[in-house]
Amino acid sequence: MKKYFREISVAAALGILLLALAVFAPSFFQPQPLLSLVTREAPTLVVACGMALVIICRQIDISVGSQFAVCSVCAGLFAAMHWPLVLVLAASVLIGAAFGAFNGALVAGLGLPSIVVTLATMVTWREGLRWLRQGVWVDLPNGVQWFGLPQMTGQWTLVLVALAILILLALALKHFAIGRFIYAVGSDAEAARLAGIRPRLMTFGVFVFMGALTGLAAMMNTIQSPQVDPNSGTGLELKTIAAVVVGGVAISGGRGKLWGVFAGLLLLACISPALTHLHVEAYWEKVIQGAIILLAVVTDGLRNRRKSI
Amino acid sequence: MKQLLQLSAVTKSFGAVRALKDISFDLRAGEVHALLGENGAGKSTLIKIITGAHQPDGGTIEIAGERVGKLSPATARKLGIACIYQQPALFPDLTVAENIGLRLERANSLSRVNWKECRRRATELLRRIGADISPDAEIRSLSMPEQQLVEIACALGTGARIVIMDEPTASLTQKETALLFAVIRDLRGSGVGIIYISHRLEEIFQLADRVTVLRDGESVGTYFVGGSRREPAQMSPEESQSGRTSAARITEGDLIKLMVGREISQIFPPAESAPGEIVLSLKKLGCTAGGVKNMSIEVRAGEILGLAGLVGAGRTELARTIFGITPADAGEIFLRGEKVQIRSPQEAVARGIAYVPEDRRRHGVILEMSIAQNMTMAIHRQLFPGTWLRLGVERACALDFIRQLDVRASGTEAPGHSLSGGNQQKVSLARWLATKPKVLILDEPTQGVDVGAKSEIHKIIRRLAKDGLAVLMISSDLPEILGMSDRIAVMRGGTIAAMLPGKSAAHEVMSAALGQKGGAG
Amino acid sequence: MNTDQHGYKSILLRHETILFVVLAVEWIFFDAVGHNFGTYDNTCDILRHSCEIGLLALAMTPVILTGGIDLSVGSLLGLCAILFGKFWRDAGMPLPLAAACTIGVGALAGGLNASLIAWLRLPPLIVTLGTFSLFRGLAEAITHGVDTFTDFPASFLFLGQERWLGIPAQALVFIAAVIFFWLLVHRTTFGRSFRAIGFSPEGARYAGIPVGRRMAMVYVLAGIVSAIAAIIYTARLGQAKADAGTGYELFAITAVVLGGTSIFGGVGSVHGTLLGVAAIAVLHSGIAHALLPGEMAGMLTGVLLILALAGSTLPKMISGLRARKSTPRLAKQIP
């Protein structure tokens, strides 16, 4: 299974980490905190799925954090206005999709580089939100948190929703032609064009989808607390790009599997609580994260070198 | 016999260069029709016209008896024309099955992919051509021959009626070639018409029914091939009426003569003095990455050593090894008797070796930068001591070369992409002349250059040799090789096939390049 | 890569001219509308506050010119700041020595980026994403997240907080850096080779340019400049904390792209970057003085960036359409 080398190594690394925790810090495996951890990361997983698609398509989106924040706050505001939660969800998704469409229009329509476009939109949306909200949190009415269900039910619902999205997306990518089109465009946009695929439409669509997923994730995040923090989503872009890259999606596009992204995200997400339970200072988290990213990209580079000779 | 394809009086020019003149070509169902000609004879242009990548300036194209107005790549595909290039156009990160699936289907995004069906079809196609390739293998992990086989499977899968194969056996082993021939015979048996381009005469005689020879953009004749199934006496009425195919069966020697036979009407500047000492000496030089092995040649000061051979013979790879782009891992290089190690282009330049590359647009000139900047790019250390740019000096240097080489441009600051091919080549040449090299390697110095500029460049090259440079000139233009070289080294398969004197006959060079024994009778 | 080069020079000229006009408009507008905006004191203030980002943007320019990017400069600033504090306070070094050691660390960190990017040929975006995390993490780990370094001697704080010869002291360092980078990019063979590499790494290689060495150079320089910026930051704020420089890298990239440097490499200028930094700094200051919400500055910066991008793409698109008629060469190889 040389083909899945990266995904398997990440899963293996995760396994080793869990094993080490089982031996040295079994306190890590208490069900309730573990569930809370996984629930907290559920929205990140959803966004990471979208980011994986964007990067497979040979683009990048560093504005997801700001999109997330805006969608969260909007969702909170709508919920505070007592909209039915279904409508709130729909609104959040639509707003996210609109942001995505804006990015997509600039990148696919005008051919502008995605890193700079999303840098600009990231700053603009973030500052715009800060201006409008002035850092004020949104109080949610009763019944919004966990959809009004008991906490554990709510948590399990979110986790299952995130996993469902992951699985559905992975299946859709594999079994529907559009999945292959995205990989084709990321692998070689010109060859794709010659094969009858429309790279610009694909690119636009991928950004819109990214935005929609971000909106969904924002909703999933909003219902986890009684208030909405307008600073939510800080660092989301880096978390998700790291998870995607560690999980085996190449920044040059055209390759990568969603379940690798899942393993990558879990690995990176476990670092912080693992450190806590191993009584290591939490501040080493970023060091380890950075080291993992570098390790991932170095091994990629070495393997590609061997292949090209 | 059904006529699959008929080209009549097709012409095509690119600007001032005429690639095809009054070409007539036809292909029948169930035949292998070989296309033979030197590099630059017009084969690729002809193929591009058939596949719809280029539009002919004149003449007509008929497919299955019906005249086709404007052929585009998409319509050509629909009409059942498939072409298998030397460089497969596959998606490197996808699997074989995915690539075949994408090629074969015109699915819209929302249709479901039936993976079982897709894999089954891929497996089936691969089995039919006897390829031992897993449908789940990533294209990136396949070797070039394997990728070619996948391309052939794709062509098979699209149900093409006209299949064009461009040098398909160039990188195949004997066994793979045999398998390929079996597939081709299979296709032929099922009524497909195959246009087969190859330099390997033995293959043509093994496989082809007819062969058309192109020379300088014109068709020199279409002949039955000795190994054909049909006797010439059984020519069908249409054939004898069309009068296009000669009844005579052709031999190898005749083919070679047809390919090269022409009057060398160009006048090349003659050598004026005898060559001096040995400047560059290669002893058993090899580079596994480039496929070069056991190269031992010498170039003297004041001499032009022509390096002839077919595409893929390894000439550019040799140049790149000498110049340090793909450093040698075997053998030795001697400069003026001193053994040197060249591991990078900087080291080569420091030693006085200059290389004017074949790919002008990617390696010879940086298109976005100005003429002056391009010309001085290799001499920063000399022209700008202490790394300080002196724009005045740079401009003067550029003007000097512009004058010397007669570069037509709007000024020293004109960007590279605003120049014509010939002038770009002059800029590339100027860059390396500025380094005052001792060894100058030229790779296709006049490719894509118009006749006037060609002659100028030739004069310059001869003058450089006279000034004491050792010149190694790689060229696929036979008249150029014959007219300019003091000696000719012919490469084949990554090593030297023959060393010939400068006044050799064209067919001797061609024979050596093709690997035929001796001159043709 | 179809940039019209006559186009490239004239676009650059045009781009910078437009940016200069924007800058002038900003100045005039805020001078009229704001309180105390156009004063000498405020100008010094703007200068003082934009030195660190300005330094990072200057170092970022050659990196982007070679077609790369460095996301780790902000984190490296933080790491260098606390290391500077540590060298001085905990290792007892005299300040000049601590500064030299810090710059050494900066160079080493830049060297880490350089070796991965220039020699292993790994994608700069991901490598510097990794070091972005790594450096910040080291800074936090070394200080345990809480440690800060304060009580620097007044002679040191002078660098960040006082004026010398009438202008803020750090501005002198900045001006020196401006001169250095401008000369490096525009008047030396190094700058020429950066552009060549940005336009075509292969083409540069065939021309005998030592591509690996040049690329390594720009990343090591970025590291050194981050360290210098860290020292100035510490002097300005009077303290060194692990979160120093958060977000600075994005600011720097914004300034560079705003200034007309193409993210793909080859095209760009140091004076453009300067104008970019100035435009952003003046915008922020002006908005504050006009008593407008500070976030507006950020939003306008984003809008400016998109306009700048779109503006430089449009002429390229037009000339690209014009240049579509290329002369194909007589193919020796069938494509």
Contact B519, B505 (CB under 8 A): yes
Tell me which chain A residues have a C-beta less than 8 angstroms from the C-beta of C69.
115
Q: Do A297 and C130 touch (CB under 8 A)?
A: yes
Whether residue B231 is predicted with pLDDT greater than 70 in this model: the reply is no
Whether residue C327 is predicted with pLDDT greater than 50 in this model: the reply is no
pLDDT band at C138 (very low <50, low <70, confident <90, very high): very high
More confident residue, A161 or B505: A161
**Lowest pLDDT segment from A94-98, C162-166, C199-203, C253-257:** C162-166
pLDDT band at B167 (very low <50, low <70, confident <90, very high): confident
Nearest-CA distance B49 → chain A (Å) = 17
Q: What integer is the mean pLDDT of C272-299?
A: 90
Whether residue B519 is predicted with pLDDT greater than 50 in this model: the reply is no
Q: CA–CA separation, B263 vs B260, rounded Å?
A: 9
**Which of the 8 DSSP states describes residue A230?**
T
More confident residue, B236 or B382: B382
Domain holding A142, by residue range, is 2-19+30-303
Q: What integer is the mean pLDDT of B106-132?
A: 79
Q: CA–CA separation, B282 vs B318, rounded Å?
A: 10
Whether residue C266 is predicted with pLDDT greater than 80 in this model: the reply is yes
Nearest-CA distance B117 → chain C (Å) = 32
Tell me the pLDDT tens digit for each residue of A190-211. 888 877 788 999 999 999 999 9
Neighbours of C288 (CB within 10 A): 18
In a domain, A24, yes or no: no
Provide the pLDDT for residue C324: 45
Whether residue B227 is predicted with pLDDT greater than 60 in this model: the reply is no
Provide the pLDDT for residue B421: 79
Structural domain total, chain A? 1
Q: Do B416 and C5 touch (CB under 8 A)?
A: yes
Q: What integer is the mean pLDDT of B30-58?
A: 85
Provide the pLDDT for residue C101: 96
Q: Could you give the percent of chain B with pLDDT greater than 90?
A: 32
**Which of the 8 DSSP states describes residue B41?**
S
In a domain, A193, yes or no: yes
Provide the pLDDT for residue B356: 95
Q: What integer is the mean pLDDT of B381-389?
A: 90
C294 in contact with chain B, both atoms CB, cutoff 8 A: no
Provide the pLDDT for residue C289: 86
Nearest-CA distance B349 → chain C (Å) = 7
At the topology level, CATH places domain C46-312 in ABC transporter involved in vitamin B12 uptake, BtuC (1.10.3470)
Which residues lie across from B12 on neighbouring strands?
A: B20
Whether residue B332 is predicted with pLDDT greater than 60 in this model: the reply is yes
Whether residue B225 is predicted with pLDDT greater than 90 in this model: the reply is no
In the numeric block, the tokens 């021939």 are attached to B181
Provide the pLDDT for residue A85: 87
Q: What is the chain B residue with the closest CA to A256?
A: B93
B105 in contact with chain A, both atoms CB, cutoff 8 A: yes
- Angle (CA) C86-C92-C94 rounded to 5° is 100
Provide the pLDDT for residue B230: 46
Provide the pLDDT for residue B286: 92
B8-13 own/partner pairs: CB under 8 Å, 24+ apart: B8/B59, B8/B60, B8/B61, B8/B62, B9/B58, B9/B59, B9/B60, B10/B46, B10/B49, B10/B56, B10/B58, B10/B59, B10/B60, B10/B61, B11/B56, B11/B57, B11/B58, B11/B59, B12/B45, B12/B49, B12/B54, B12/B56, B12/B57, B13/B57
Whether residue B142 is predicted with pLDDT greater than 90 in this model: the reply is no
Q: What is the chain A residue with the closest CA to B73?
A: A194
More confident residue, C219 or B55: C219
In a domain, A308, yes or no: no
Q: Do C193 and B365 touch (CB under 8 A)?
A: no
Q: What is the chain A residue with the closest CA to C113?
A: A294
Prediction ipTM score: 0.88
Residue B491 CA to chain centroid, in angstroms? 14
Please tell me the pTM assigned to this model: 0.85
Q: Could you give the percent of chain C with pLDDT greater than 90?
A: 61
B113 in contact with chain A, both atoms CB, cutoff 8 A: yes
Tell me the pLDDT tens digit for each residue of B397-435. 999 999 988 888 888 999 998 888 788 999 999 999 999
Whether residue B229 is predicted with pLDDT greater than 80 in this model: the reply is no
Q: What is the chain C residue with the closest CA to A252?
A: C123
Whether residue B280 is predicted with pLDDT greater than 90 in this model: the reply is yes
Provide the pLDDT for residue B378: 94
pLDDT band at C168 (very low <50, low <70, confident <90, very high): confident
Tell me which chain A residues have a C-beta less than 8 angstroms from the C-beta of C309.
106, 112-113, 116-117, 120
Q: CA–CA separation, C134 vs C72, rounded Å?
A: 9
Residue C302: both structure tokens together: 């984003």
Which of C1, C2, C3, C5 is best to mutate for the B interface (most B CBs within 10 A)?
Answer: C5
CATH of the domain at A249: 1.10.3470
- Strand, coil or helix: A261: helix
Provide the pLDDT for residue B194: 92
Distances (CA, A) of A245 to A184, A204, A252, A290: 19, 22, 10, 12
Q: Do C145 and A283 touch (CB under 8 A)?
A: yes
For B248, counting Cβ atoms within 10 Å of its Cβ (0-12 exposed, 13-18 middle, 19+ buried), the class is exposed
Q: Which of B194-208, B281-295, C50-64, C134-148 tops mean pLDDT?
A: C50-64
**Which of the 8 DSSP states describes residue C42?**
H
Provide the pLDDT for residue B262: 59
Secondary structure of chain B: what % helix, strand, coil (to 5)? Answer: 35, 25, 35
Q: What integer is the mean pLDDT of A34-49?
A: 92
Crossing angle for the helix pair A64-80 and A236-246, to the nearest 10 degrees:
130
For B291, counting Cβ atoms within 10 Å of its Cβ (0-12 exposed, 13-18 middle, 19+ buried), the class is middle
Provide the pLDDT for residue B74: 76
Whether residue A5 is predicted with pLDDT greater than 60 in this model: the reply is yes
Q: Do C298 and A284 touch (CB under 8 A)?
A: no
Tell me which chain B residues have a C-beta less than 8 angstroms from the C-beta of A176.
109-113
In a domain, A258, yes or no: yes
**Lowest pLDDT segment from A61-70, B250-259, B496-505, C280-289:** B250-259
Distances (CA, A) of B207 to A67, B131, B152: 64, 20, 17
Tell me the pLDDT tens digit for each residue of A146-196. 877 888 888 898 999 999 999 999 998 888 888 889 999 998 888 888 777
Which residues lie across from B36 on neighbouring strands?
A: B213
Which of C133, C258, C264, C301 is best to mutate for the A interface (most A CBs within 10 A)?
Answer: C133
A177 in contact with chain B, both atoms CB, cutoff 8 A: yes
Task: Give me the half-sphere count of Cα atoms (radius 13 Å) on the Cβ side of residue B241.
Answer: 3
Whether residue C20 is predicted with pLDDT greater than 60 in this model: the reply is yes
* Sequence-ordered strand ranges (E) for B405-506: 439-443, 470-474, 487-492, 495-501
Contact A267, A292 (CB under 8 A): yes
Q: What integer is the mean pLDDT of B391-396?
A: 94
pLDDT band at B33 (very low <50, low <70, confident <90, very high): very high
Tell me the pLDDT tens digit for each residue of C111-120. 999 999 998 8
Per-residue b or e along B385-424, where b marks 16 or more CB atoms closer than 10 Å to that residue's CB: eebebeeeebbebbbebbeebebebeebbbbbbbbbbbbb
For A229, counting Cβ atoms within 10 Å of its Cβ (0-12 exposed, 13-18 middle, 19+ buried), the class is middle
Q: How long, in residues, is chain C? A: 335
Per-residue b or e along B181-216, where b marks 16 or more CB atoms closer than 10 Å to that residue's CB: bebbeebbeeebbbbbbbbbbebbbebbbbbbbbbb
pLDDT band at C3 (very low <50, low <70, confident <90, very high): very low
Secondary structure of chain C: what % helix, strand, coil (to 5)? Answer: 75, 0, 25
A171's CB contacts (< 8 A; 6+ apart) are none
Q: What is the chain B residue with the closest CA to A177?
A: B109
Q: Which of A74-88, B125-139, C52-66 tops mean pLDDT?
A: C52-66
More confident residue, B421 or B442: B442
- Strand, coil or helix: B407: coil
* Neighboring chains of A (3 or more beta-carbon pairs < 8 A): B, C
Whether residue B271 is predicted with pLDDT greater than 80 in this model: the reply is no
A165 in contact with chain B, both atoms CB, cutoff 8 A: no
In a domain, A309, yes or no: no
Provide the pLDDT for residue A309: 36
Q: Do B373 and C329 touch (CB under 8 A)?
A: no
Tell me the pLDDT tens digit for each residue of B174-189. 777 787 888 888 888 8
Q: CA–CA separation, C232 vs B348, rounded Å?
A: 45
pLDDT band at C97 (very low <50, low <70, confident <90, very high): very high
Nearest-CA distance A204 → chain B (Å) = 14
Tell me the pLDDT tens digit for each residue of C196-231. 999 999 999 999 999 999 999 999 999 999 999 999
Q: Could you give the percent of chain B with pLDDT greater than 70?
A: 91
C35's CB contacts (< 8 A; 6+ apart) are C289, C290, C291
Residue C64: both structure tokens together: 């982007």
In a domain, A25, yes or no: no
Whether residue C321 is predicted with pLDDT greater than 90 in this model: the reply is no
Tell me which chain C residues have a C-beta less than 8 angstroms from the C-beta of A106.
306, 309-310
C211 in contact with chain B, both atoms CB, cutoff 8 A: no
- Angle (CA) B59-B65-B69 rounded to 5° is 45
Which residues lie across from B298 on neighbouring strands?
A: B281
Tell me which chain A residues have a C-beta less than 8 angstroms from the C-beta of B141.
307
B503's CB contacts (< 8 A; 6+ apart) are B482
Interface contacts (A, B; CB < 8 Å): 64
Phi and psi torsions of B109, nearest 5°: -55, -35
